[in-house]
Amino acid sequence: MTGSRPDGPAAVPGGPHGLAAAGGADTVGGAGGPGGAGGADGGGPTLAVVGATGVVGGVLLEILSRRADVWGEIRLVDTPQAARAARSAGRKPSVRGVETEVFALDEDAFAGVDVAVFTGPDEISARWAPVAVAKGAIVIDGSGAFRMDPEVPLVVPEVNAHAARIRPRGIVASPSALALSLSVVTGALHAEFGLSELVVSSYQAVSGAGRPGIDALRAQLASVVVGTELGTRPGDVRRAVGEGTGPFPAPVALNVVPWTGAGPDADGWSSEELGLRDETRKILGLPGLRIGATCVCVPVITGHSMSVHACFENEVSVGRAHEILANAPGIVVCDSPERGEFPTPADVVGTDPAWVGRVRRSPDDPKALALFLCADNLREGAALNLAQIAELVAAEPTAP
């Protein structure tokens, strides 16, 4: 075992391995990087956080407040409705220990901005990311709007940091939480063994659906807790929950729902399952990689998990897999099932790495591994990756 059961954020001081500066002057998209362009206080480049009042936006502000401070001004931006709601409620999000006003999203919000991080839904990014680029910013986008655009790199710094430098549209995309964690873990193993196929089952937290998902599960739990016999007869949970399924097609409380995303397509795949396939291929640079996924929503607030069956070109061993994973950036191995030590969402929530356990070689195929991985989908799966990419871009030298 390399690592033990996490006990919250303090279990992993500083989170994953630090970033290296992305040197070189061959950046495409914009006139080099922001590289020290002064913010409002002259202390560094100006960063805009779009969607600052949302679930991922709030986590990003907390992460920015505890990481090395490379930014000058950090400007908080959200939709006019969200900005008004924050003002009317007297709420000012805190960033770097200072309560900060939220500005309404419009063209003026990007004036003087060097890097703009988008944390909201696809439609906001699709409409406003090109506006931010036109105003001179480099965009780091956390939505699905640009992930599969061939002119937009899809970046996980632990795997393909170099890709962030080639951005013809001035946009760098961050993958879904599932593809991000899966790529970090399987990418490390691919470098040694040669990845050939993945079969994945996900166990996804409701926060993947944003605040409506969290609110729906909490409301459902309140509905079912009064009936101590619920879950013992056909349809009793569904009747107790009634119409309060929120963004899910069935109750999540006392249940699992084998569907996330939109669709299905003609063959029955959801958009989440196909997206996991397409994004993982793009991140790893393996366009022909065989991937089959079944995505399931479970009654967990935060923390996505995956059961992974990975096939390789070369023979594998558990010992070597442990060694590779333990030395890879952004991964912690927690794998002593005889002592009850393996990752669970309840243990890894609030931490930065991807946690890996239950690593086994297939009894039927010496070239296949089974493993279980778990990560905080709001931190490691979203906000942290956005912060890391933004720091990579900020570290680029200015064009001469």
Residue 253 scores a pLDDT above 60: yes
CA 308 – CA 243 distance, rounded (Å): 34
CA 164 – CA 27 distance, rounded (Å): 8
DSSP state of 244: T
pLDDT of residue 91: 77
Is the pTM higher than 0.85? yes
Residue 38 scores a pLDDT above 60: no
Q: Is 256 helix (H, G, I), strand (E, B) or coil?
A: coil
The band of 20, judged by pLDDT with boundaries at 50, 70 and 90, is very low
In the numeric block, the tokens 């926060």 are attached to 207
Length of the chain: 400
pLDDT of residue 84: 82
pLDDT of residue 299: 97
Query: 15 near 8, Cβ under 8 Å?
Result: no
Which tens digits make up the pLDDT trace of 301-354? 999 999 999 999 999 999 999 999 999 999 999 999 999 999 999 999 999 999
The candidate with the shortest Cα–Cα distance to 377, out of 293, 270, 272, is 272
Which tens digits make up the pLDDT trace of 289-301? 999 999 999 999 9
CA 329 – CA 296 distance, rounded (Å): 27
What does the block give as tokens for 278? 């397409």
Amino acid in position 59: V
Query: 337 near 250, Cβ under 8 Å?
Result: no
Q: Alpha carbon of 148 to those of 46, 261, 295: distances in Å?
A: 27, 16, 20
Residue 77, φ and ψ in degrees, nearest 5: -135, 145
Which tens digits make up the pLDDT trace of 188-247? 999 999 999 999 999 999 999 989 999 999 999 998 877 678 999 999 999 999 998 999
The candidate with the shortest Cα–Cα distance to 351, out of 95, 5, 1, 2, is 5
- Residues 287-307, buried b or exposed e (16+ Cβ, 10 A)? eebebebbbbbbbbbbbbbbb
Distance of CA 306 to the CA centre of its chain: 14
The band of 128, judged by pLDDT with boundaries at 50, 70 and 90, is very high
- Bridge partners, residue 93, by sequence: none
CA 190 – CA 276 distance, rounded (Å): 17
Surface-to-core class of residue 97, CB atoms within 10 Å of its CB (0-12 exposed, 13-18 middle, 19+ buried): exposed
pLDDT of residue 39: 40
Sheet of 74-78, strands arranged across: 102-104, 74-78, 47-50, 115-118, 138-141, 171-173
Beta pairing class for 368-375 and 195-204: unpaired
The candidate with the shortest Cα–Cα distance to 385, out of 146, 124, 175, is 175
Q: Is 61 helix (H, G, I), strand (E, B) or coil?
A: helix
